[in-house]
Structure 1
Amino acid sequence: MPNLVGTKGQVVINKEIRDQLGIGPGWMALQRFAGDHVEIYFVAPEHEDSLAGSLAPHIRAPLYQGAEWAQAREATGSLRGIGQAGPMDRGL
């Protein structure tokens, strides 16, 4: 479906195309001259949504709580020397 170019050079991206590409308000439109036509690429804005829990479905390790957690921390800490005073702890 053709659209008319507005007085300031604006064109409307058809709703079907916007929906298919997921384009919404605030997206950046990058234009590139390509011979006899213009190519437009869209870049989504940075989101401010929380990512908390987004990896939960992919984590298979058990989550330790209480005494189990303390025991696991002690076991891994002793293997790596974690918990011992390092240069930052000694003020060096």
Structure 2
Amino acid sequence: MTFWQLGLHLFNFLLPALALAIFLPLAGGWVMGPGRTSLGRRMGVHVLSGLAVLVTGLWLHGQDGKMSTYIALLLVAATVEWLLQRGWASK
């Protein structure tokens, strides 16, 4: 495996977490209004939590791309956004 192929594999492994980290804070701000946490910080938290879920799924299943990992990624990302937007204190 060349260095280029390794980079593509790592990028494709991280792409679901990166996509959620970009779009979910924007959607959360649109649905719940502007939060007290900055957009950049929310994106950073989403990247770290998404990466943790993907690595945990890889460790548990022994391979990436399992649907249960992607479901866990979506649930964790939505919960993190709710917590960062302080959803329990919504109007």
Q: Which has the higher contact order (CA 8 A, sep 6+)?
A: 2
By percentage of residues, which structure has more helix?
Answer: 2
TM value normalised by structure 2: 0.19
More strand by share: 1
- TM-score normalised by the chain length of structure 1: 0.19
Which of the pair has more CA radius of gyration?
A: 1
